[in-house]
Amino acid sequence: MKIDEVIELMETLLEKSPTVPFSNKKMIDGEQLGEYIDNLKMAMPGEIKRAKDMARDKDNIIAEANKKAEEIIRQAEERAKVLVSEEEVIKQATEIAREQVKRANDQADEIVAQAVSKDKDIRNALAANLDKVLSDAEVVLNKSLTDVMSTKSAILKIGAPE
């Protein structure tokens, strides 16, 4: 018999028991009440055991759920760390790439500026060299022209009677 059934029987026994005249007291069948108490004593260990088993099961279920929740949280945190790490690596790689492109552009600008400067220097040197060569050629040609004119004049003097 279950505890709640025994308690109902005890309540019924109390309700049906006669009242002692001139008082609020009831006369209860002691033997019947004793049987009900014995039934309670016998039912209680089983009920208590079931309640304890249920409490233990509940605690086990909660512990298992907490364990699973902690594992899920741990996995989520690890995944978040990986994602944050990957994002950080991407950010760092992007920043490094930007710096390298800037350095390459700066170097290219410097190389172009040096090339323009060297081109200017080479053109200036070439112009100066050509000017010198042409000036030297002019001097030689002028001297040669002078020599030719002198020779012509000398030949004319030799060949013309006076």
Q: What is the pLDDT of residue 102?
A: 94
pLDDT per position as a tens digit, 110-155:
999 999 999 999 999 999 999 999 999 999 999 999 999 999 888 8
Q: What is the pLDDT of residue 5?
A: 86
Mean pLDDT of 19-38: 88
pLDDT per position as a tens digit, 52-96:
888 888 989 999 999 999 999 999 988 888 888 888 888 889 999
Are the CB atoms for 40 and 3 separated by under 8 Å? Answer: yes
Whether 43 shows a pLDDT value over 80: the answer reads no
Whether 161 shows a pLDDT value over 70: the answer reads no
Three-state secondary structure readout of 85-103: HHHHHHHHHHHHHHHHHHH
Q: Can you give the residue ranges of every domain in the chain? A: 3-159
Whether 160 shows a pLDDT value over 90: the answer reads no
Whether 162 shows a pLDDT value over 70: the answer reads no
Structure tokens at 36: 């009900």
Q: For residue 158, name the pLDDT band (cuts at 50, 70, 90).
A: confident
Whether 3 shows a pLDDT value over 70: the answer reads yes
